[in-house]
Amino acid sequence: MIPTHDVVLVGGGGAGLRAAIAIAEFNPRLDIAVVSKVYPMRSHTVSAEGGAAGAVAPDDSLDEHSYDTIAGGDWLCDQDAVEMFVQEAPRELLRLEHWGCPWSREPDGRIAVRPFGGMKNMRTWFAADKTGFHMLHTLFQTSLKYTTVRRYDEWFVTRLLVDEGRVQGVVAIDLASGRVEAITARAVILCTGGCGKVFPFTTNAAINTGDGMALAYRAGAALKDMEFVQYHPTGLPFTGILITEAARAEGGYLINKDGYRYLQDYNLGTPHKEPVLKSMELGPRDRLSQAFMQEFAKGRTTDTPYGPVVHLDLRHLGAKKIDAKIPFVRELCMKYQGLDPVKDLIPVRPVVHYMMGGVHTDIDGATTLPGLYAAGETACVSINGANRLGSNSLPELLVFGARAGHAAAEYASRLYDVTPGIVVQTEEERRRVERDLLNRRGHERIADLRTEMQATMEASAGIYRTRAELEKGVERLRQLRVRLADVAIEDDSRTFNTERVSALELAFMVDIADAIIASAVKREESRGAHQRTDFPARDDIRFLSHSVVYRNPDGTPRVDYMPVTITRWPPAERVYGEAAAHAGPHHAAGRSLPAGETV
């Protein structure tokens, strides 16, 4: 049977749209479908604020960007992918500029760059402090040029169709009408973003429920590095709204309840009036979030009705600088906290922000399943390793969106047809979605189960983890699954049934939660964002590898390991603050050591 389309993209955010454009440009004869559960301009890329890193300045170098990324990732990054990424990033950002992205400029008209956390040089491009918004709208509007891109707006993908060992399309619900259809294709690219909603406090939007990761996991593809969950150090206490790292890059201070810049106690350098790259408030996100937890343990954080907070001090920047460089931060604080950063301190706390892990892919976005690709936060290549540096994920969307698009286009050009086996799968899925999930009797409310899952994840897989808590988490999730089978869905309508969507998303999230905790239990070391108080040191001998998790036939996760690609920079100590001036890519460059041996 001929498939409906050549390539189906699940998700219409930054990665999905970039991939669609890449395919359309690479082979204008391919028929491309973008299937998204929301209209593309609602994708969560839109809320990214700070910026996108690309090494273009004359005093910068690709090697420095590589080294910063690899060190920031605590050496869990695949260095070949990182080297390719830092090379492609400036080109992709420039391509976006040609497509109309309103990057902020220097007075002479050249692209402006700003400093960012964990980066030794200023290399972060920005569009005021709404970089993701402008990037997404530029990509979406540019994608309208290509007539070969068809959009399925507000279609919710519930399952991947896999037959004869390769992926052949998706089954999706047209939310407006409720009909369940198979959208067949020769290749599928997953670009569904992260899974922050698995945790209770997150910068992520309601739509970030890890759909693509769960779809791949259930179809038999491998997920990688799932235990590495990034906490952004500065989120607002009740809503979790992101206060961008750019606020610190422009010179903000983090102070505890005594007004003390506490980061200096945590090996992050000494405080200066102006921001110093890779030091203090411009350290990497995992270390800053961990510092918060330790301050909390010492009783030096401020208590609020919404939990402990520290404060971000922007008062010394002045209204003019704030309005020029970070106006959205001011707007958000005034609106959602009722305070003005020009005069007041902003209460902040670490909130879940990004998933370093995801669907395992190679450097071209191909997963372990033929015909299935992934790009963006959904994928784990891995260029972010154990901790992502700020402003690396927006170029990641572009670079790997384009690469996965290319790879999928080439695969699709081989003209595989669709096998009859998927008709049965579609029918099964239709039955499950229509019969079993409409007007379903049960005793559990979706919201209660979701809250329980989120509480479990916060307690067991938070910033600091222990074996005891993790194992408790495994048990709580197991009980949750039993309760999930008894969930009630009152809504019996087919028209835009959001209750059914919530139930499907919850089931996806429970799968992801299982994968996260299973990976975290087995990794007995502390690296980057995964910190074990029972194993506080980094263990390059046993754990300089990616954890890979597969789904067993009975639904339980199975964790294995695969090696990290080390090319030019063998594992060294991560240093920030004054010591960072001496650490750099020239260290041990050119000497490659076998994994496990340190310098």
Partner 1 sequence: MAESPAYNYHPRWLRRRVSTYWWLEKRSYFAFVLREGSCLFVAWFVVYLLLLIWRVLQGDAAYQEFLTWSARPSVLLLNIVSFLFLVYHAITFFDAAPRALVVHVGKKRAPQQLIGASHYAAWLVASAVVFWLLLGA
Partner 2 sequence: MRDHITLQVARYLPEKQSEPTFDEHEVPCPKDWVVLDGLNYIKDRIDGTLSYRWSCRMGICGSCGMTVNGEPKLTCATFLADYAPGPLRIEPLRNFPIIRDLIVDIGDFMRKLAAVKPFILRRYEKPISEGEYLQTPDELDEYKQFSMCINCMLCYAACPIYGLDPKFIGPAAIALAQRYNLDTRDEGAAQRMDVLNEHAGIWGCTFVGECTKVCPKHVDPAGAIQRYKLTGAVESMKAFFMPRGA
Beta carbon nearer to partner 1, 177 or 439: 177
**501 to 540: interface string for partner 2, x by CB under 8 A:** -x--------------------------------------
Q: Are 251 and 317 in contact (CB under 8 A)?
A: yes
Selected binder of partner 2 within 239, 264, 267, 565 (CB under 8 A): 239
485 binds partner 2 (CB under 8 A): no
Beta carbon nearer to partner 1, 495 or 552: 495
* Catalytic option among 159, 248, 353, 527: 248
- Cα 90 to Cα 161: distance, rounded to the nearest angstrom: 36
99 binds partner 2 (CB under 8 A): yes
Q: Do the strands 124-125 and 302-304 form a parallel or antiparallel pair, or are they unpaired?
A: unpaired
Burial (0-12, 13-18, 19+ Cβ within 10 Å), 440: middle
Beta carbon nearer to partner 2, 93 or 276: 93
- Cα 182 to Cα 559: distance, rounded to the nearest angstrom: 31
Which of partner 2, partner 1, none sits in contact with 98, Cβ below 5 to 8 A by type? partner 2
103 binds partner 2 (CB under 8 A): yes
41 binds partner 2 (CB under 8 A): yes
130 binds partner 2 (CB under 8 A): yes
Which of partner 1, partner 2, none sits in contact with 109, Cβ below 5 to 8 A by type? partner 2
Which of partner 2, partner 1, none sits in contact with 139, Cβ below 5 to 8 A by type? none
Q: Which of 565, 528, 585 is CA-nearest to residue 231?
A: 528
- Window of 139-147, 402-410, 526-534, 588-596 that interacts with partner 2 by CB under 8 A: 139-147
Burial (0-12, 13-18, 19+ Cβ within 10 Å), 267: middle
| 3-state SS track over 487-500 | ECECCCCCCCCHHH
* Catalytic option among 5, 18, 114, 232: 232
Which of partner 2, partner 1, none sits in contact with 152, Cβ below 5 to 8 A by type? partner 1
Query: In 3-state terms, what secondary structure has residue 32?
Result: strand
Query: In 3-state terms, what secondary structure has residue 9?
Result: strand
Beta carbon nearer to partner 2, 207 or 213: 207
Looking at this protein, which amino acid is placed at residue 503?
Answer: A
232 is catalytic: yes
Q: Which of 20, 15, 39 is CA-nearest to residue 155?
A: 39
Beta carbon nearer to partner 2, 28 or 100: 100
Helices H, strands E: what count in the chain? 15, 23
Shortest Å distance, C-beta 548 to partner 2:
31
Shortest Å distance, C-beta 450 to partner 2:
8
Shortest Å distance, C-beta 593 to partner 1:
52
- Cα 24 to Cα 7: distance, rounded to the nearest angstrom: 10
Q: Are 393 and 354 in contact (CB under 8 A)?
A: yes
Q: Find the binding residues for partner 2 in span 323-362 (CB under 8 A).
A: 332, 335-336
Burial (0-12, 13-18, 19+ Cβ within 10 Å), 373: buried
- Cα 35 to Cα 19: distance, rounded to the nearest angstrom: 13
Selected binder of partner 2 within 15, 19, 38, 293 (CB under 8 A): 38
Shortest Å distance, C-beta 296 to partner 2:
22
Beta carbon nearer to partner 1, 147 or 552: 147
- Cα 581 to Cα 521: distance, rounded to the nearest angstrom: 36
Show Cβ contacts of residue 230 under 8 Å, excluding neighbours closer than 6 positions: 285, 286, 352, 353, 354, 355, 356, 387, 388, 529
298 binds partner 2 (CB under 8 A): no
Q: Kindly list the residues in this chain that would bind partner 1 in the complex (CB under 8 A).
A: 143-154, 174, 176-177, 495
21 binds partner 2 (CB under 8 A): no
Strand residues in 164-313 grouped as ranges (E): 166-174, 180-184, 187-190, 223-224, 229-235, 253-255, 302-304, 307-313
- Window of 57-65, 88-96, 255-263, 355-363 that interacts with partner 2 by CB under 8 A: 88-96
Query: In 3-state terms, what secondary structure has residue 313?
Result: strand
Burial (0-12, 13-18, 19+ Cβ within 10 Å), 182: buried
Beta carbon nearer to partner 1, 150 or 481: 150
Which of partner 1, partner 2, none sits in contact with 149, Cβ below 5 to 8 A by type? partner 1
Query: In 3-state terms, what secondary structure has residue 361?
Result: coil
Selected binder of partner 2 within 57, 62, 122, 205 (CB under 8 A): 205
58 binds partner 2 (CB under 8 A): no
- Cα 392 to Cα 376: distance, rounded to the nearest angstrom: 11
Burial (0-12, 13-18, 19+ Cβ within 10 Å), 498: exposed
Distances, alpha carbon 442 to alpha carbons 170, 327, 438, 450, 510, in Å: 28, 48, 12, 15, 18
**411 to 450: interface string for partner 2, x by CB under 8 A:** ----------------------------------xxx---
Shortest Å distance, C-beta 207 to partner 2:
5
530 is catalytic: no
Which of partner 1, partner 2, none sits in contact with 147, Cβ below 5 to 8 A by type? partner 1
Give the footprint of partner 2 on this chain (CB under 8 A).
38-39, 41-44, 46-47, 91, 94-95, 97-100, 102-111, 130, 133-134, 137, 141-142, 144-145, 153, 176, 205-207, 238-239, 241-242, 332, 335-336, 445-447, 488-491, 493-499, 502
What are the residue numbers of the active site?
Answer: 232, 248
